[in-house]
Amino acid sequence: MASGIFALLDDIATLMDDVAVMSKVAAKKTAGILGDDLAVNAEKASGFVSDRELPVLWAITKGSLLNKIIILPFAFLLSAFVPVAVTIILLIGGVYLAFEGAEKIYEYLVPHKHENKVELIENLSEEEILKREKEKIKSAIVTDFILSVEIVIIALGTVVDSPITTQIFVVSIIALLATVGVYGIVALIVRMDEFGYKLISLNEEDDSFSDKVGRILVNALPKIIKGMGVIGTIALILVSGGIFAHNVEFFHHFLESWPSLLKEILLGLVIGFAAFGIFELFHKLFSKKAH
């Protein structure tokens, strides 16, 4: 009896060691998309009335957790019964990531107006503000769903050859960290300016230490969000290029003499702009037909 218990404890310890090791690998693989997730959600969670920022962020966080609860069982079923589907979805996700990165680069190089962008205006009525708030929350949760699928599939791709128990533990840990970590950091970022204003109003002096720190925090917020957007775009290109370099035999041996970083950036850019070009072509064709 005692030997059976010790054997069970040994099995559990071995499983936990495997989970810890694979979780580190999965975390590294998903770091790029988590950076983009953070950048996207920081932008989505900003622009609200000050006292509504945290309630809105909590609503988005709950939506994100629900997204993971929906996605995870389907991902594990695919891994258990149709493991090749994980690779296929991973490659489709890679095309989407590359496309999104290329689109962001295009929008930066060729700026244009966004027709459906929702902004909160301070002189709106409370009812109108709440309505637009709900629209932004819904938009953020939909975006989170897409990013969550990508995070789960990329994490699952790193452990697809492991036992299903290890897969469940590792991918669930990454999914939970993605939600708690990302939205925890987003909460700190979107409240930076509010904390800065509180520091400025601590005393009546015009140029005190708290005033200087407060102004730095207030002025830093838009720059941080913009900088995170740039980092997120680079991450998208790198992650997508890495997906194709490691999962497609032709790309794996493509430009073998090149450093892997440069090769993955090149692959991400080429695939991204090819996907973006095809999308724009079909979009223009269908627009012409509609007219």
Tell me: pLDDT of 101 over 80: yes
Compute the mean pLDDT over every residue in the chain, rounded to the nearest whole number: 76
Helices (H) and strands (E) in the chain, counts: 9, 0
Q: CA-CA distance, 79 to 285, in Å (whole number)?
A: 38
CB atoms within 10 A of CB 210: 15
Q: What is the pLDDT of residue 16?
A: 47
Q: Which residue has the higher pLDDT, 168 or 143?
A: 168
Question: Residue 277: pLDDT above 50?
Answer: yes
Q: Is the CB of residue 39 less than 8 Å from the CB of residue 225? A: yes
Assess whether pLDDT exceeds 70 at residue 290: no
Q: Judge whether residue 7 has pLDDT over 60.
A: no
Confidence of residue 121 (pLDDT cuts 50, 70, 90): very low
Q: CA 14, 171, 89: angle at the middle one, nearest 5?
A: 130
Q: What is the pLDDT of residue 45?
A: 64
Q: What is the pLDDT of residue 18?
A: 46
Q: What is the mean pLDDT of residues 145-170?
A: 80
What pTM was computed for the model? 0.68
